[in-house]
Amino acid sequence: MRKGLLFIISGPAGSGKGTVVNALLKAHPELKLSISATTRSPRPGEINGVHYYYISKDEFKSRIENGKMLEYTVYSDNYYGTPEKEVVEAMENGNDVILEIEVDGAMQIKEKISGSVAIMLTPPDKDVLEARLRGRGTETEDVIKWRLERAKEEIQLLPKYDYSVVNEDGKIEECAEAVYSIIKAEHQKTIYTRSIIEKFI
Ligand code: 5GP
């Protein structure tokens, strides 16, 4: 069976990656979303094992030491990371896997997993970015300012990604389909389609 591919969907806070990923999975349920582990507390409505695996800092550190994390980072004083086992198993079962992670983790995966594809989602411009960060209404002013600065730094890393997609206001489905077209195109790369030749020999 052909192995699945690994797609990193990344982008700064305010890029709307969570919403785009939800729309992508709704339209293409065959894609598997990797559930990250985090040491931050659940927000209202978030469910353990659905949105994240919520674990303690000690548990997170022990998973790092035992090599169970494919990548991890510290973001806003909390650890976030991708559990390796689930991702590897899903890919071996032929599923394409989506990682929705921040840029530091994205770069770690690009280095570690050959053939992984990094897609950066961006807001259209800095005014929209700020409006989105403020509009969420769940963070303090200090956190908003910090996220805004970090977002501007993160966008500078765009050239290190394989693809970028702009997420315009009110065009979530279009943005998700633009991402899906990248997924489809990656499967047509000739490194994965060489076996076609055999049919002609
Ligand atoms: P939030 O606290 O808003 O859910 O997530 C904060 C940031 O951490 C977001 O940019 C999110 O994409 C990122 N993130 C979530 N899971 C992971 C992960 O497993 N690894 C990394 N590197 N970042 C993650």
Do 73 and 171 share a domain, yes or no? no
Domain around 186:
1-31+96-201
User: What confidence score (pLDDT) does residue 2 get?
Assistant: 77
Do 63 and 26 share a domain, yes or no? no
Relative orientation angle of helices 126-135 and 141-155, to the nearest 10 degrees: 150
Give me the mean pLDDT over the 144-158 stretch: 91
pLDDT band at 138 (very low <50, low <70, confident <90, very high): confident
Please list every protein residue whose CB sits less than 6 Å from any atom of ligand 1. Answer: 13, 36, 40, 71, 73, 75, 80-82, 100-102, 104-105
Among protein residues, the one whose CA lies closest to atom 7 of ligand 1: 102
Relative orientation angle of helices 172-187 and 17-27, to the nearest 10 degrees: 60
Do 119 and 169 share a domain, yes or no? yes
Structural domains of the chain, count = 2
Choose the final residue of a domain: 75, 94, 113: 94
Do 22 and 48 share a domain, yes or no? no
User: What confidence score (pLDDT) does residue 84 get?
Assistant: 97
pTM, entire model? 0.94
Choose the final residue of a domain: 61, 94, 127: 94
What is the Å distance from ligand 1's center to 185 Cα?
A: 26
Among protein residues, the one whose CA lies closest to atom 9 of ligand 1: 102
Contacts of 99 (CB under 8 A, 6+ apart): 6, 7, 8, 9, 10, 34, 36, 82, 87, 105, 106, 109
Choose the final residue of a domain: 94, 114, 135: 94
Tell me the average pLDDT of the chain. 95
User: What confidence score (pLDDT) does residue 1 get?
Assistant: 65
More confidently predicted of 13 and 96: 96
What is the Å distance from ligand 1's center to 194 Cα?
A: 36
Atom number in ligand 1 closest to CA 106: 22
Angle at 105 between CA 103 and CA 107, to 5 degrees: 70
Query: Does residue 143 come out as left (phi exceeding 0), alpha (psi in the -120 to 50 range) or beta?
Result: alpha
Q: Domain with 143 in it: what CATH number? A: 3.40.50.300
Q: Domain with 82 in it: what CATH number? A: 3.30.63.10
Alpha carbon distance 32, 18 (integer Å)? 14
Do 87 and 162 share a domain, yes or no? no
Alpha carbon distance 96, 72 (integer Å)? 20
pLDDT band at 82 (very low <50, low <70, confident <90, very high): very high
